[in-house]
Amino acid sequence: MNRYCSLILDYIVLSGIALLLSACGGGGGGGGGASTGLLSMSVTDSPVTEDVAVCIHFTGITLHHSDGDLIQIPYDSSTYYDPNDGCTGNVDPNNHAPQEDPSNNAVALSNLQGVLSVQLMDSEEVKAGRYTWIRLDVDESLSYVVDSGGPQNLSCPSCSADQSGLKLNQGITVPAGGEANFMIDIDLAKSLNKQPSGDYKLRPTLRLVDLTETGTISGTVDGSLIPGLISETDTGCRVYVYAGHDITPDDIHDGDNVLTTAKVLYDSGSTSYQYVAAYLPTDSAADPTPYTVALTCDADDPEIDQNNDPGNLNGDDVILNDGVIEGSGKNADVYTNQTAIVNFTPAQ
């Protein structure tokens, strides 16, 4: 064989190997082939204003890829069960009868305070690229609320199969051969509404957070600022969080500027009152993201814009303060993967 033919043969062999490697994904790493990546998705809650257990039966997550594909990831609810969370997982709210099927377990969304969450997807391999919207799929018939009167029906007009479900129109990107990890915060304080019948309606307010770009604000509240416990640990007080510094605190209502809220809870171990506001978006790892936090122990009705002007008090006032000055809050600087400490203390 002459040298010319030998070179041609070498070229054909090398080209064939390259094509074979390309077809096999090119030896791509942990996220599967070059056209896929790993996606994790969890759910948490900003606390509801009432002392209730909100029990949501998730069935899965639907993802809409920018190329038009719908990807459905089922959720195995039998993997979640906590007999002490207020959602027994075996109560049919329509007739209050026990159910035999353990897959009826509902997530106690109202218990997911601070850093607590439930994972709905754990490193699922999905098509890489841009997703234009995400939907949490819910079985409304197996979702309910438990209040002082027992299990109550929970309706969710947008959760039906022919509606939008618990939908986020905020896009995400799953990197090829990489991983993405997101948290969905369902704000029950804005979403849950009690009806005159005693049943509840869910009108979802959700925010999506990239867990690689979040931080936390936590701290203590001086006992002199706490009127008293409404349960074994719950003070009934809340810390409200606003994006930006020097924000004038506002109550929860349509068009408010409240990003999220956190319960003030009594910790018997340290005999202190504490709060944790987690999963706050951060702009960069190097520079802080500004927030304002404010404290209130007044009841907040999310159905109406209540008065929070300390200079014009009336029966609907929700006074937010920094522990000393009514109508003001405290500034906080939040860094990625760090916790900013902001304590509420009275004037000395």
Tens-place pLDDT, residues 282-300:
987 789 999 999 999 998 8
- pLDDT tens digits for 218-268? 999 999 999 989 888 889 999 999 999 999 999 998 888 999 999 999 999
* Direct distance between the N- and C-terminal alpha carbons of the chain, in angstroms, rounded to an integer: 97
Kindly state the percentage of the chain with pLDDT values over 70.
80
* Residue 16: pLDDT over 60: no
Q: What is the pTM of this model?
A: 0.77
Task: Give the mean model confidence (pLDDT) for residues 83-93.
Answer: 60
- Relative to beta strand 179-187, strand 272-281 is unpaired
* Residue 190: pLDDT over 90: no
Kindly report which listed range (92-96, 119-123, 281-285) carries the lowest average pLDDT score: 92-96
Task: Give the mean model confidence (pLDDT) for residues 101-118.
Answer: 74
The residue with greater pLDDT, 190 or 182, is 182
Point out which residues pair with 192 in neighbouring strands: 202
- pLDDT tens digits for 318-340? 999 999 999 999 999 999 999 99
Q: Answer for the pair 184, 232: CB distance below 8 angstroms, yes or no.
A: no
- Give the CA angle between residues 53, 59, 65 to the nearest 5°: 125
Task: Give the mean model confidence (pLDDT) for residues 144-173.
Answer: 80
CA distances from 106 to 93, 339, 344 (A): 12, 31, 35
Question: Residue 95: its pLDDT value, please?
Answer: 52
